[in-house]
Structure formats: C-alpha cells, structure tokens
C-alpha cells in the first residue's frame, strides 16, 4: 500500500463475527525514516482463533444467573490453554479467541451448586456452541436468629414448598425434626437446617420458586419462643437472604460461684447467695445455680458468702449463651495476732499496724490491731509480704516483731498469722590474696537500712542483732575480682555462720572501639611473671580479671590495627585502658577452575595504584589477598592475568567501620579463541563475534582471508558473522568460524515520464533472491541502484500516486556478479493541489488536515493531506476535469487545536495539470480568557471596595484587586480557558457597626475568550438616634417637593420623558453587553475591550500592528467629551484583528474619524 503523505494512519482488519486476530488494528506514524514502512517491515495480522458461546441456566428454567465462572480447558494440552470468563445477563458467556481443537467447559461458583457442571465442545473451522448444557442446581437461602443483638445457635429451621423432580434439594436434612408439627395449610416440609454459633442458617441448594421458612427449637435445658413464626421466601436467579432476623425471647440461664481457679481446677462454693438485679438464688454444693424465665439484656450479677468477698459485674444475657460467667472470689479474710508482750521501755502496746505488700509490686494494704493485738482484713488472692509497722523512734529503742518480713499466699480464708520478736547473729570469712584487714562488707534486705561490718586481717566478720528474714552479704572492694561478690542469707530462728567470700584476682578495665583479641602478660620487675594469656574483648567497656597484682603489657591481636601496638595497665590504677582501631582488614579471594600461578590483584585507592600480595591455596586454585583500610576509603580491586578471564572484571568497595573478610571475591577461568578463514581468500572482510550480554568483538581478515579473536569467555554460545560490501558471505557447513565468499550482482533502474524526463520520487519495490526485499525512491535523476544482490529472479514494481507505469511490473533474472539495467516509463493520470497553510502572521502552520471533495459528477471523490513543518501542502490524486471544494477538515478527532480556516472553503477545477497557489490561514483556539467587571455602586463607596476572584468551592482568593475609584475593573492577568468554575465577589472596608452592606457574588465558567460580568454593591449608614420619628423628618421635604412639581408641571413631564428614553437606551446597551459576555463561549472572539482609564498588561499581538494615528491622545478626550454629552459614561479602545490582505490594499493608515 503506497503512502505518499507523512502523518498518522490506522490499518484495521474486519474479520467475520467470532473470529479473532491479533492485533485488530495497527497505528502507524509515517515520518519517512523510523516508521515500519520506511524501514521495509511488514504489518502482520495473526489469526488467534474462533469463539465459544453458551448459557448457564437454572434447573427448571430457560434463564440463568450472572456471576458464574466458566472455564475453558483444552483436552489435548490442559496446561497450555486454560481461560475463564464470568456469565453475564441471563447466564450467557463467550470465549474468544479459541484455537481449533477439542475443549472441556466447566462451570463453578463459590456458593451455588452446578449440575451438570461440565461438558465438551469442538471448534472446527467455525465458532463452537455449548448451548444450555450447564445448569445451576439451586441457590442458597440464608437468614439469622438473634436475641436482642446476640446470635442464637442450634435453632432448627424447616423449609416448606413444592418439590420438583427436575430440581431436587440437597445439602440439608430431609428427615423430620423431633417434636416438630407444622400448622395446617402449609406446603409439605422439604428439609431442615440448624443455626450456627453466629446465629446464621443456610439452605445451600434451593431451586427457583416460592417457599416458607418456619423456625423451631426446644433444647434439653432451654426453651425458646422464636418470632416471627414463619417467613415467605421467593428464590429467583440469585441467592436469597431473609432480611429481618428471627428474634428469640423467654429462656433459662445458669452459672457457678467459685472460690478459686488455681492450677486450672475450679472449686465451687455452696450456700452463696447470687443476685441478678432484684432476683436472688442460693448455690448448690458444687456452686451451681439456675434462674428461670430470663430475658435478654444487661444485668448486675453479684454474690455473697461468709469470709469471702465477690465483685459484682455487668453481664449480657442472651439465648446464644445461657451459661452465665463464673463468679470467682475477689478477696478472702485474713486474721492473725501481734504479740505485744516484753516490749522495750518507752514503747506503747498498741494498737499497731500490719502491712500486707503484694510480692513484686508496690501495692500495699494495712490492717490495724485491736488492744490485744488481734487483726482481720480482706485481701485479694496473691502472695503478700507481711510486716508490723514500726516507727523510727521505736526501731531505735530496739523494737522488732518476729521476722523482718514473712510471705503469705492468700487463696482461701487465712487465720493464725502471728508476729513475735527475735534477733540473730550472722558471721563468716573472706579469703583474700593478700591481707583482708579493713575490708568493708554490707548486710542488706529489702525495706531495711543496710548494715556494715569490717573484716579483720584473717578475713573474719560478723553482724549482730539481725531480725529474721532474707538478706544479702556484699563485699565492697571493686578493684578486686570475686568468685561471687555477694552471698544470700536466710535468717529464721537461729544464728547464721560459715558464710564465705573468695577473691579470684585483680580487676583491669579496658575500653576498645572494636571487638578484638588481646595478649596480656605481667611486666612488673622482680616478680615471678605468669605465662602470657589471651582474652577476647567486645566493643565498649570490658573487665579483665588478672591473677596477680602489678603492671601488665597488653597487645591487641586480630584484623584491626590500633593506634599503639602495645599498652601498659596497672592493677592499682582505677583509670581504664583505651584501645582505638585506626584501620580494618579487608580481604578477598580469586577462585580458579584450574590451578594457575598467573593471578595478580591490582588495588587502586584514589590515584595510587599498588599490586597486592596474593597467597595461593588448594594447589593454586584459590588466591587470597588482604589490605588494611581506613573507614570511608574507596578501593577498586582488579584481578589481572595473561591467560585467565575474571568475573566480575573489577569490584569497587568502600571500607567500613569494621573488618570485612571475603568482602571481594572473583571467579577465574581460562579464556578461549575463535579462528577461521574465508574461501576463496578475501582480505578486508569484517568478522564480528557476539553473544548475549557481551559487547561485540571485531577483526579484519588478512591477505589469506584468515582471522583470530580471543581470549573469550568459554562455555558460551557465540555468533560469528562476516560482511563486506558487494559480497555475500555464507557460513561453511560443518566448519564453525569459516565462510564462503560470492560476489553479488547489481540492479540499476531508471524511471522517466512520457517526454523522457527523469521522474523523481517513484517508489520502487524489489523482492526475490534469498529473502531479499527493499523499497526505495528514485532520486532527482529518476534513478535508483540496488546493490549486493544474490543470483536469482527478482520482482520489480514501480508505484507513485497519479501515475501509471509501463511495464506495471517486471520479473528479471540476474546472474551472479552481473549488472542489469531496467528502464520504466510513467504516464500522468491525476494531478495535485499545491499550496501553503500559514498563521495570520504568515508563519508556517504544520499539522493542518485539508481535504478536497468533488461533486456528484466525479462520484464525490475525496482526497486529503496534512501540512508539513514548512507549511507546504500537497493533495495528490485529484482527477482531471473535476471540480473540488477544498477546506479545512472537521471532525471529533481532526484539527482539534484549530478553530477555523480562512477562507472557509475554496473551489478549484483540475484540468490537465497541477493546481498551485492555494493558501489557507488557520486560526488556533485561544487558551486564555479575559475578564472585565463592572461595579454598580454609589461613587463614594468605590474606594472602599476590593474585587476578589476565587475558584468555586474555595475561599482562597486567586486574584484580589482594589476597585480604585473606577467602576470598571479588568483582571490583571487572564484566566486559563480550562472550563473551571470561578466566583467573583466584592469586599468592603466599611465598618459593619456604621453601615448596612449588601453585596452579591457571581459565578462564571472559563470557557470563552472573554467574559464581562456585573456586581451590585450598596451601603446605607445606620441611624444615629433610633428614637427620632420619621414623620417630622420626612414631612417638610415631601411638602416642598409637591409644591415644586405643581408649579413646574410641564417641565417635569418633558424631563421625565427624556430620562425614560435614556434609561431604555442604556438598559438595551447593557443587555447587549451582558449577552455578548455570556455568549463568549463560542469560537472566533476577535475583539478585546479594555477601559481607557486603566493601565493594561501588554499582550502579544495577534496579527500585524500598524502605528496609531499621531493625534490619538488629543482625539480621545475630544471624543470622550462629545459622548459624555450624550450620556455615555465609558470610552473603550478596541483592538481589531485585520487580515493582511486588507491592510495591503489600503494606501495609508485609517484616519481618526474612521477609527
């Protein structure tokens, strides 16, 4: 299909119904260089398959439901072809495209049951029809039963209706429910279901029809009354849901009262009184109770029992949970006695306070004893620490009751808790590596002040007067290391002896920036130095325990390099020793498939290049290297070898804050070479070796036609190609890398017209030989040469619109290495319209589609073309002796950026030659809208007003401009002509306390070139003295006005007529202006009106601009005065766009009078 005009095209294929091709259409953007046609590529449409249609129906019906999933599967290859669709209205479905073959069609739905759900269909030469072989057995009918808002389970629902053999019910129990009797007049019972824990019930498979659902429930311990007693349901082509849930009322509830739930065992409490709001019952021996006639709702549940307290709670009573929650004892009574005999002098006997503190918590309770020391209180189940509260003064006097603290587990009522005074002695020994004299020890317990003791030289120590309880003895010398720095002590009813604390060494504190291993040895002179030892330090502060006192030498080891290679630490110094790493090791390796010594690693850091030392392992298959690097250093590692290839070729790494072992790895293997030659010998041929993910490598053959390329990556598929202009180089079978050369032929074509003149621009299509195809245009001499042709037959066809060629096509035989010349003659049978499309200023206007349409005498023949970037236009293929109407083409998708063309249309007649001199002026659509506003207000209020324009729905102003004394306002910047809604309003600076202000806002749309709107504003001063009557004030002026009207009756009538005429004229002019502003949405608005008294923003001229007359400044005031005498208030300058043709015809600028 020859295409002569550049532009956008669409090629569409219209196959028979149900057939599918891919693609269905192809969009082409013909630019003469990069498009498919210019590059000689084909436009192919591939047949995809036929269609398969059918319908899923409901059993017993000719219609079917929508939403059923239908799957089409090939019976010959289930994995290759499997597709799904969903049925539409009436259950119909279509698959397309479907290749020819045998298929299985399956229907499915997540809820509905289908029977039958599978069938077969064959596609042979046309569409396949499944028909109505797939059907839905029935639909689900669902509902819910509740009591109040709580769901009820185990309620039976019976479905009544007419049974049909064509659509049986499944998925529900068909046997009658025990004890159920249907009322008379109901259809037969079909089946039944039971509600679940959520109160929901479902009849899964119900055919289309009308049914009645009846609820029924009588449990072993619960009796229910369900409303309504029955519901009618109609099943169509979809699931049916009963909208209003069934309600249950009147049932039995039960519960239990427990003393504890410890260890998972529930212990019931008999004889407790249970209250549910105003109703009460007494529990059985096992703690259970029953309440008859309960209703749904929220109630207060509580219980009472001796020595036990319960917390009341709000419970929700519903038939879905007739078992009330267990009531568990919240607190038990705890009783005891404090022995108040043998008190120290000056201490009163009581009453005293006993503190109960929850173990592991700060929560505490207090009980006060009676005069005899007895106490009772209620406590929640927990473990408590008990103590008698003693004041500081009493403590100083030596008062203490029994143990300092004792624990009590409360899970039942407790009695017999007793406190009595006691004091014990705690003693032991400290084993030191040197004298223990003066060593301090501390005895501490929770809630008591710590007590101190000093060890003697041999390490003995003792604490006297210790109350019973839990204690801890701690040694307080941090410079030493201890096997255990503290030991626990339990004081009950006897003295504690034999405690022992053992010193294990001396403490050194080391702070290191990184984890590392150290070697340390004693370096003190004159001492018996123990063997050196190793320790591992973590980043941060570390404590090292050394076996002897003295000065130690510490040497860091490992992958880090520190500021100092060795440091000294003294056990007598409390200052920590600091180790700070400055570089860190970065290591890597090169792994080779075969052992080799030829591996080097080059390191580049900034501009410095060094070669790293490698260490061979595994017989030369692994080569390791390492380097010390500062944090942040950017290093590039590049392995090198004369025989090996590396993957990757290099690695770049930024050193971090720690060591990185095996951070850089390379894989190495020996390279391979590709060699061959061209027969017969051909020098200067280019050989290209390529492979996936690799840049092509090239070489040139020598005088003998030989070449060699390498080394290359082995075990890869390489493609070797050879080329040289004028030769066909083919690969030699069985010899990879070798080629056979054959010199090619040439085809020279020359195209002329009837007079023998060269004919340029003719499309020559040449195809044949070995898959040869090329389309080229003749040059200015009418010639085109086709080189590098292989021997064989070639089909030659010339094509050019408006021409017929002799011969129309030619089959030519070309021998090997031969040159064939062919001459073709063309005859003109149609002609062209040649011209230009420009803007109003004469600039080129590209992309304008222009059409030429003939009349009925020429069968309404139509041709079109698009203007080029230079504005040039050529419409080809116009028939001779035909008259055409030429115009800018219109349409929804054509010339959308242009509003019109001038002239609208032109008539041309084609004789026996091209028509030239055509010209079209195209007008683009304006993209902005000018807005003018007329403010109708009293002159004294104009200076207080401000014009505000905002987007519709937003209070944020887009434009805010003072009126500045002039009633006409022009927006300082045009609005975008985008169809958006805007609102204009007036804001006044007048105070609301002194004036009553009335102002309206106007909404408008930015869809025209210009818009004029009018805003009303009025303000009245509020009266100062509200008590002054209107009668005395208005009476005198009205009387004087009546007298003047009576005296000057004739003059007043004439003046009134003149005023009425001026009002009518001005009202008509205002209506015309408003109508013009409202109709501005149309195209072609060419006049922009602005007031003379407002300084306007300069605009880009639309067309040519002539100088204004020299007397314009003087002329305007004169005109304004003359018009003001006629009652015209505003004078406007009008900028008129005039076609250049009209200006060219004028001999001089227009005079002021004509302006």
pLDDT value at position 1107? 47
Taking the C-alpha atoms of residue 547 and residue 692, their distance in angstroms, rounded to an integer, is: 67
Residue 291: its H or E element = strand 288-294
Structure tokens at 122: 């064959």
Quickly name the fold that domain 424-579 has.
Answer: Immunoglobulin-like (2.60.40)
> Would you say 315 and 298 are in contact if contact means Cβ atoms under 8 Å apart?
yes
pLDDT value at position 637? 94
Burial of 103 (0-12, 13-18, 19+ CB in 10 A): buried
CATH of domain 251-329: 2.60.40.1120
**Among 439, 564, 460, which residue's Cα sits nearest to residue 512?**
564
DSSP state of 485: S
| Nearest-10 Cα torsion for 375, 377, 379, 383 | 0
pLDDT value at position 1104? 41
Q: What is the CB neighbour count within 10 angstroms for residue 852? A: 26
How far is the CA of 1070 from the CAs of 930, 984, 1074, in angstroms? 19, 19, 6
pLDDT value at position 1027? 40
Taking the C-alpha atoms of residue 8 and residue 582, their distance in angstroms, rounded to an integer, is: 68
Cis status of the peptide bond prior to 116, with omega within 30 of 0: yes
Is the domain covering 926-1022 a CATH 3.20.20.70 domain?
Answer: no
Taking the C-alpha atoms of residue 838 and residue 845, their distance in angstroms, rounded to an integer, is: 5
> Would you say 828 and 879 are in contact if contact means Cβ atoms under 8 Å apart?
no
Q: What is the mean pLDDT of each run of 10 residues along the chain (1155 residues)?
A: 80 83 88 82 86 88 89 78 87 86 90 88 86 88 87 88 72 82 85 90 89 79 73 89 83 82 75 88 88 80 89 82 84 86 70 86 87 87 86 68 70 82 81 87 83 88 78 87 88 79 87 88 63 85 86 87 86 85 92 89 90 90 92 92 85 91 90 88 91 89 89 84 84 90 86 92 88 89 88 91 91 87 92 92 90 93 92 93 93 83 92 92 82 87 86 84 81 80 88 83 85 88 54 56 61 62 51 39 37 40 43 53 64 57 49 44
State the helix-helix crossing angle for 1030-1047 and 1049-1078, rounded to 10 degrees.
110
7-132 belongs to which CATH class? mainly beta
Structure tokens at 883: 């008259």
CATH entry, 831-924, from 3.20.20.70, 2.10.109.10, 2.60.40.10, 2.60.200.30: 2.60.40.10
> Would you say 958 and 950 are in contact if contact means Cβ atoms under 8 Å apart?
yes
Taking the C-alpha atoms of residue 998 and residue 733, their distance in angstroms, rounded to an integer, is: 99
Same fold for the pair 141-248 and 332-419: yes
Taking the C-alpha atoms of residue 919 and residue 1126, their distance in angstroms, rounded to an integer, is: 46
**Positive/negative CA dihedral, 362, 363, 368, 374:** negative
pLDDT value at position 474? 92
Is the domain covering 332-419 a CATH 2.60.40.1120 domain?
Answer: yes
pLDDT value at position 886? 95
744-828 belongs to which CATH class? mainly beta
> Would you say 814 and 820 are in contact if contact means Cβ atoms under 8 Å apart?
yes
All structural domains of the chain with their residue ranges = 7-132, 141-248, 251-329, 332-419, 424-579, 584-670, 675-740, 744-828, 831-924, 926-1022, 1100-1155
What kind of architecture, by CATH, is found in domain 141-248?
A: Sandwich (2.60)
Structure tokens at 190: 């079909």
**Among 1001, 997, 993, which residue's Cα sits nearest to residue 938?**
997
The CATH superfamily label for domain 584-670 reads: Carboxypeptidase-like, regulatory domain (2.60.40.1120)
Kindly report whether the global pTM for this prediction surpasses the value 0.75. no
């Amino acid at each position: 299909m020859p295409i002569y005009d550049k532009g956008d095209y669409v090629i569409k294929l219209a196959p028979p119904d149900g057939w599918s091709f891919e693609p269905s259409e192809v969009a082409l953007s013909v630019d003469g260089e990069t498009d498919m046609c210019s590059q000689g590529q084909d436009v192919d449409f591939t047949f995809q398959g036929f269609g398969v249609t059918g319908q899923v129906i409901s059993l017993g019906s000719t219609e079917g439901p929508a939403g059923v999933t239908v799957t089409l599967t090939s019976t010959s290859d289930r994995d290759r072809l499997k597709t799904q669709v969903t049925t539409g209205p009436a259950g119909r479905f279509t698959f397309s495209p479907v290749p020819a073959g045998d298929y299985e069609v399956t229907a499915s739905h997540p809820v509905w049951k289908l029977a039958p759900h599978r069938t077969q269909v064959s596609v042979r030469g046309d569409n396949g029809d499944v028909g109505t072989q797939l059907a839905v057995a029935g639909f689900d009918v669902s509902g819910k039963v509740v009591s109040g808002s709580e769901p009820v389970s185990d309620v039976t629902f019976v479905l009544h209706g007419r049974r049909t053999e064509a659509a049986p019910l499944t998925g529900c129990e068909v046997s009658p429910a025990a004890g159920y009797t249907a009322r008379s007049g109901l259809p037969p019972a079909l089946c039944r279901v039971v509600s679940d824990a959520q109160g929901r019930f479902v009849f899964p498979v119900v055919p289309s029809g009308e049914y009645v659902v009846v609820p029924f429930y009588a449990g072993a311990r619960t009796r229910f009354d369900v409303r309504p007693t029955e519901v009618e349901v109609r099943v169509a082509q979809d699931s049916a849901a009963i909208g209003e849930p069934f309600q249950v009322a009147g049932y039995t509830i039960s519960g239990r009262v427990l003393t504890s739930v410890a260890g998972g065992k529930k212990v019931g409490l008999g004889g407790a009184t249970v209250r549910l709001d105003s109703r009460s019952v007494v529990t059985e021996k096992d703690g259970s109770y029953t309440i008859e006639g309960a209703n749904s709702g929220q109630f207060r549940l509580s219980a009472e029992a001796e020595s036990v307290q319960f917390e009341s709670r709000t419970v929700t009573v519903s038939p879905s949970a007739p078992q009330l929650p267990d009531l568990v004892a919240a607190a038990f009574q705890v009783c005891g006695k404090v022995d108040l005999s043998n008190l120290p002098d000056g201490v009163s006997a009581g009453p005293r306070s006993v503190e109960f503190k929850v173990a592991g918590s700060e929560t505490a309770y207090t009980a006060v004893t009676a005069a005899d020391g007895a106490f009772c209180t209620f406590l929640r189940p927990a473990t408590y620490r008990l103590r008698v509260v003693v004041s500081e003064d009493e403590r100083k006097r030596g008062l203490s009751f029994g143990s300092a603290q004792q624990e009590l587990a409360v899970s039942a009522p407790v009695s017999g808790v007793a406190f009595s005074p006691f004091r014990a002695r705690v003693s032991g020994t400290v084993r030191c590596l040197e004298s223990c004299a003066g060593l301090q020890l501390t005895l501490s317990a929770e809630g008591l002040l710590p007590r101190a003791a000093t060890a003697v030289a041999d390490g003995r120590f003792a604490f006297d007067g210790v109350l019973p309880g839990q204690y801890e003895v701690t040694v307080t010398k941090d410079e030493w290391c201890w096997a255990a720095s503290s030991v626990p002590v339990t004081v009950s009813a006897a003295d504690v002896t034999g405690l022992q604390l053992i010193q294990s060494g001396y403490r050194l504190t080391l702070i290191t920036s990184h984890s590392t291993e150290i070697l340390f040895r004693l370096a003190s002179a004159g001492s018996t130095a123990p063997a050196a030892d190793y320790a591992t330090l973590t980043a941060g502060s570390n404590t090292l325990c050394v076996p002897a006192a003295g000065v130690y030498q510490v040497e860091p080891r490992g992958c880090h390099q520190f500021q100092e290679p060795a440091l000294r630490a003294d056990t007598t110094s409390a200052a920590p020793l600091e180790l700070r790493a400055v570089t860190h090791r970065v290591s890597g390796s090169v792994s080779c498939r075969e052992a080799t010594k030829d591996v080097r690693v080059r390191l580049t850091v900034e501009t410095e290049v060094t070669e790293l030392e490698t260490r061979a392992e595994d017989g030369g298959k692994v080569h390791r290297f390492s380097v010390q690097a500062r944090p942040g250093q950017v290093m590039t590692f590049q392995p090198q070898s004369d025989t090996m290839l590396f993957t990757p070729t290099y690695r770049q790494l930024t050193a971090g804050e720690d060591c990185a072992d095996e951070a850089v790895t390379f894989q190495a293997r020996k390279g391979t070479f590709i060699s061959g030659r061209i027969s017969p010998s051909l020098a200067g041929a280019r050989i290209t070796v390529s492979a996936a993910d690799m840049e092509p490598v090239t070489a040139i053959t020598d005088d003998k036609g030989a070449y060699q390329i390498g080394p290359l990556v082995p075990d890869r598929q390489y493609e070797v190609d050879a080329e040289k202009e004028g030769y066909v180089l083919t690969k030699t079978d069985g010899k990879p890398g070798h080629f056979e050369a054959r010199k090619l032929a040439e085809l020279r074509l020359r195209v002329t017209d009837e007079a023998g003149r060269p004919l340029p621009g003719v499309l020559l299509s040449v195809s044949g030989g070995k898959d040869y195809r090329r389309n080229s245009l003749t040059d200015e001499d009418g010639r085109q040469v086709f080189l590098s042709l292989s021997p064989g037959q070639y089909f030659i066809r010339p094509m050019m619109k408006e021409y017929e060629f002799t011969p129309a096509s030619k089959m030519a035989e070309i021998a090997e290495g031969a040159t064939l010349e062919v001459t073709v003659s063309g005859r003109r049978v149609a002609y062209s319209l040649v011209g230009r499309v420009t803007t109003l200023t004469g600039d080129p206007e590209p992309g304008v589609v222009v059409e030429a349409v003939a009349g009925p005498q020429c069968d309404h023949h139509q041709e079109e073309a698009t203007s080029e970037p230079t504005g040039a236009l050529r419409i080809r293929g116009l028939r001779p002796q035909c008259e055409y109407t030429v115009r800018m083409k219109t349409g929804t998708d054509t010339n959308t950026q242009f509003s019109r063309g001038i002239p609208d249309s032109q008539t041309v007649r084609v004789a026996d030659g091209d028509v030239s001199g055509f010209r079209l002026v195209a007008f683009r659509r304006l993209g902005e809208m000018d807005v003018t506003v007329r403010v109708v207000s009293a002159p004294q209020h104009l200076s207080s007003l401000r014009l505000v324009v905002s987007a519709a729905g937003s209070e944020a102003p887009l434009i805010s401009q003072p009126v500045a004394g002039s009633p006409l306002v022009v927006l300082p910047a045009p609005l975008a002509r985008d169809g958006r809604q805007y609102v204009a309003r007036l804001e006044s600076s007048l105070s609301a306390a002194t004036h009553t202000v009335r102002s309206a806002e106007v909404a408008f749309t930015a869809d025209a070139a210009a818009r004029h709107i009018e805003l009303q504003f009025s303000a009245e001063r509020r009266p100062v003295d509200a008590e002054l009557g209107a009668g005395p004030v208005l009476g005198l002026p009205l009387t004087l006005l009546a007298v003047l009207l009576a005296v000057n009756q004739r003059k007043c009538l004439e003046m009134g007529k003149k005023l009425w005429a001026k009002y009518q004229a001005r009202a008509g002019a205002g209506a015309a202006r408003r109508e013009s502003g409202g109709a501005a949405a149309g195209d072609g608005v060419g006049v922009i009106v602005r007031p003379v008294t407002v300084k306007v923003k300069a605009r880009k001229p639309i067309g040519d601009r002539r100088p204004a007359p020299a007397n314009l400044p003087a002329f305007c005031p004169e005109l304004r005065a003359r018009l003001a005498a006629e009652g015209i208030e505003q004078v406007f300058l009008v900028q008129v766009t005039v076609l250049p043709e009209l200006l060219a015809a004028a001999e001089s600028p227009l005079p002021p009078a004509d302006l």
